[in-house]
Amino acid sequence: MSKLPDGFLWGGAVAAHQLEGAWKEGGKGISVADVMTKGAHGVPREITDGVIEGENYPNHEAIDFYHRYKEDIQLFAEMGFKCFRTSIAWSRIFPDGDETEPNEEGLKFYDNLFDECLKYGIEPVITLSHFEMPYHLVTEYGGFRNRKLIDFFEKFARVCFERYKDKVTYWMTFNEINNQANFHDDFAPFTNSGIKYEEGENREKIMYQAAHYELVASARAVTIGQEINPDFQIGCMIAMCPIYPSTSHPKDILKAQKAMQKRYYFTDIHVHGEYPGHMTRYFERKKFNLDITEEDLEVLRKGTVDYIGLSYYMSFAISHNESDETYDYNESKDLVRNEYIETSDWGWAIDPEGLRYALNWFTDMYHLPLFIVENGLGAVDEFDDDGRIRDDYRINYLRTHIEQMIKAVDEDGVDLMGYTPWGCIDLVSASTGEMKKRYGFIYVDKDNDDNGTLERHRKDSFYWFKEVIASNGENL
Ligand code: P53
């Protein structure tokens, strides 16, 4: 007897910009992902001013899913997927983001894609905004610095809900909205919010303002979606990296708690519909004077989510700083290495127990169903002499995480909807733009220098995951 509920949503997750390619086809506009070059571990991707001739933009072709989705979905069906998480590329539907009418060719592509999933009984699980807003909204409006973006997002959401109301039940609004808690780096503010900072700007204040507009946009979308189809399940999506105190020093404990508040207050607003006291006090202390209206607060109260979607890859650890009595969190400076934990080739801490901890933490805080919509190991894969990819390191990572997930459900009573490992087919890495950082059960023949046939091959983990799904998590 499986310890997971019947109907548990096993599947895989991707995002449009990381696999579709066809960046200029079907009337698609340029997105923020289309102006990011390739980086590497420790080498950030560059955000260029528009698309510059001669630069390497890995998302332009990606793995050409736009033309190959039928073959790929057939492979997902062969693994027994119950669901498939992807996003709708905003710039396929509204190429510039501010048009009055949507692009029919873009809408049609997702009709075909969802029909193809449904043909095999695979539920689409859809993120509306996954690091791919139309680039025009950045150049013309400054991204989510601008309140107008709320209306543009709302319109996009409404068009998608209306068009796909009979095909899609599970939705999420903004992918990993809380990544931008790391506003000191350029990556998250740009991918989350379309924000490029000028020298000398108050980055933190701008981030909180943008996040506020996104939270309002999300809440409006939730309310509209529930009206369009009351059966919709609309969630938020949070990047969960639990932050542990590095020692039992009370100041480390407090520092970790304050850091958790800063990284996860987004969830409080999505779920409870209001700002927690520690955030309103913080804004006052910092004299941010944000544009938050009474009407916004009403919208937030109304548009609370049905479930929490989360990604889980790693945990963090933190120490207090004797010279700073405020406990204010600086994600790019304050984190320390956790000596009990191994890291991946890209430096991400591998911590299966952290997943159980995270599921319990969310449950204690919010009492809502959870959906693990990303988890996985980015690793280098190589064919052996028999033409096989023996990715036991990936199987080990997933097995140990699934074990902890099952304990959270079975022993701790966590209400869990499903599990969709990230990058079920190899795709372009978000943080580095590399192909080499692979997550898939399905290998795609393409390297970091754009060589390869784009052919698909089943890895050992493909057959393993198929058995995991078939046994509903019994045979790991
Ligand atoms: P890559 C940072 C921390 C946790 C998750 O990441 C993150 C990031 C940003 O990269 O992103 C999510 O490809 C994101 C996906 C992304 C995946 O994790 O950098 O939702 O788009 O591909 C894995 O290895």
d(CA 358, CA 379): 23
d(CA 91, CA 375): 26
Mean pLDDT along residues 377-397 = 98
Question: If you measure from the C-alpha of residue 446 to the centroid of ligand 1, how many angstroms do you get, rounded to a whole number?
Answer: 20
Atom of ligand 1 nearest to the CA of 431: 19
Q: Which is catalytic among the residues 214, 331, 374, 434?
A: 374
Question: Which of 32, 183, 431 most suits a substitution to test ligand 1, by most atoms within 8 Å of the C-beta?
Answer: 431
Q: Which of 124, 134, 125, 145 is nearest to 89 (CA)?
A: 134
Q: Which of 279, 111, 263 is nearest to 182 (CA)?
A: 263
**Could you tell me the pLDDT band of residue 32, with boundaries at 50, 70 and 90?**
very high
What would the DSSP string read from start to end of 389-415?
---HHHHHHHHHHHHHHHHHHHTT---
Mapped to the 3 state alphabet, what secondary structure does 12-64 carry? EECCHHHHCCCCCHHHCCCEHHHHECCCECCECCCECCCCCCCCCCCCCCCCC
Ligand 1 pocket (Cβ < 6 Å) reads: 15, 18, 131, 175-176, 179, 239, 311, 313, 374, 378, 422, 429-432, 437
d(CA 438, CA 63): 12
Atom of ligand 1 nearest to the CA of 428: 13
- DSSP SS3 for 285: helix
Return the number of other C-beta atoms located less than 10 Å from residue 154's C-beta. 17
Question: If you measure from the C-alpha of residue 165 to the centroid of ligand 1, how many angstroms do you get, rounded to a whole number?
Answer: 28
168 token code pair: 């899609």
Question: Which of 176, 182, 345, 426 most suits a substitution to test ligand 1, by most atoms within 8 Å of the C-beta?
Answer: 176
What mean pLDDT, rounded, does the chain reach?
A: 97
Alpha carbon nearest to ligand 1 atom 4, residue:
239
Domains, in order of start, for the chain: 9-470 (3.20.20.80)
Question: Which of 36, 175, 374, 426 most suits a substitution to test ligand 1, by most atoms within 8 Å of the C-beta?
Answer: 374
Atom of ligand 1 nearest to the CA of 313: 4
Each residue's pLDDT tens digit, 392-434 = 999 999 999 999 999 999 999 999 999 999 999 999 999 999 9
Q: How many CA atoms, within 13 angstroms, populate the side-chain half-sphere of residue 199?
A: 0
Q: What is the pLDDT of residue 324?
A: 80
What would the DSSP string read from start to end of 166-230?
TT--EEEEETTGGGGG-TTSSHHHHHHH---PPTT--HHHHHHHHHHHHHHHHHHHHHHHHHH-T
Mean pLDDT along residues 83-110 = 98
Q: What are phi and psi of 298, to 5 degrees?
A: -65, -45
Question: If you measure from the C-alpha of residue 422 to the centroid of ligand 1, how many angstroms do you get, rounded to a whole number?
Answer: 9
Alpha carbon nearest to ligand 1 atom 21, residue:
430
What is the percentage of the chain residues whose pLDDT exceeds 70? 100
Dihedral angle computed from the Cα positions of residues 171, 175, 181 and 183, in that order, rounded to the nearest 10 degrees: -140
Q: How far is CA 175 from CA 15, 178, 192, 245, in A?
A: 10, 9, 8, 26
d(CA 335, CA 182): 11
Q: What are phi and psi of 289, to 5 degrees?
A: 50, 60
Q: Which of 42-46, 120-124, 390-394 has the lowest mean pLDDT?
A: 42-46
Encoded amino acid at 463, one letter: Y
DSSP 370: E
Burial (CB < 10 A; 0-12, 13-18, 19+), residue 341, is middle
Q: What is the pLDDT of residue 1?
A: 81
Alpha carbon nearest to ligand 1 atom 15, residue:
430
**Could you tell me the pLDDT band of residue 65, with boundaries at 50, 70 and 90?**
very high
Task: Clarify whether 25 is annotated catalytic.
Answer: no
User: Has residue 279 got a pLDDT over 90?
Assistant: yes
Complex ipTM > 0.95: yes
Q: What is the pLDDT of residue 311?
A: 99
d(CA 195, CA 258): 25
* Those residues with Cβ within 8 angstroms of residue 375's Cβ, 6 or more apart along the chain or in another chain: 311, 312, 313, 355, 398, 401, 419, 421, 422
d(CA 461, CA 476): 11
Question: If you measure from the C-alpha of residue 17 to the centroid of ligand 1, how many angstroms do you get, rounded to a whole number?
Answer: 12
Question: If you measure from the C-alpha of residue 374 to the centroid of ligand 1, how many angstroms do you get, rounded to a whole number?
Answer: 9
Question: If you measure from the C-alpha of residue 91 to the centroid of ligand 1, how many angstroms do you get, rounded to a whole number?
Answer: 20
Question: If you measure from the C-alpha of residue 376 to the centroid of ligand 1, how many angstroms do you get, rounded to a whole number?
Answer: 10
Mean pLDDT along residues 73-89 = 99
User: Has residue 226 got a pLDDT over 90?
Assistant: yes
Atom of ligand 1 nearest to the CA of 188: 9
Q: Which is catalytic among the residues 20, 116, 123, 176?
A: 176
Each residue's pLDDT tens digit, 312-371 = 999 999 999 888 888 999 998 999 999 999 999 999 999 999 999 999 999 999 999 999
**Could you tell me the pLDDT band of residue 61, with boundaries at 50, 70 and 90?**
very high
User: Has residue 173 got a pLDDT over 90?
Assistant: yes
User: Has residue 178 got a pLDDT over 90?
Assistant: yes
Q: Which of 129-143, 220-234, 237-251, 316-330 has the lowest mean pLDDT?
A: 316-330
Mean pLDDT along residues 294-301 = 98
User: Has residue 175 got a pLDDT over 90?
Assistant: yes
Atom of ligand 1 nearest to the CA of 378: 24
Question: Strand 416-419 to strand 316-318: parallel, antiparallel, or no bridges (unpaired)?
Answer: unpaired
DSSP 160: H
Q: What is the pLDDT of residue 237?
A: 99
Mean pLDDT along residues 284-296 = 98
First to last CA, the chain: 14
Question: If you measure from the C-alpha of residue 283 to the centroid of ligand 1, how many angstroms do you get, rounded to a whole number?
Answer: 28
Alpha carbon nearest to ligand 1 atom 11, residue:
430
Each residue's pLDDT tens digit, 235-246 = 999 999 999 999
333 token code pair: 């400076």
Q: What are phi and psi of 401, to 5 degrees?
A: -75, -40
Q: What is the pLDDT of residue 325?
A: 82
Task: Clarify whether 176 is annotated catalytic.
Answer: yes
Mean pLDDT along residues 376-391 = 98
Atom of ligand 1 nearest to the CA of 314: 4
Q: What is the pLDDT of residue 100?
A: 97
Mapped to the 3 state alphabet, what secondary structure does 287-330 carry? CCCCCCCHHHHHHHHHCCCCEEEEECCCCEEECCCCCCCCCCCC
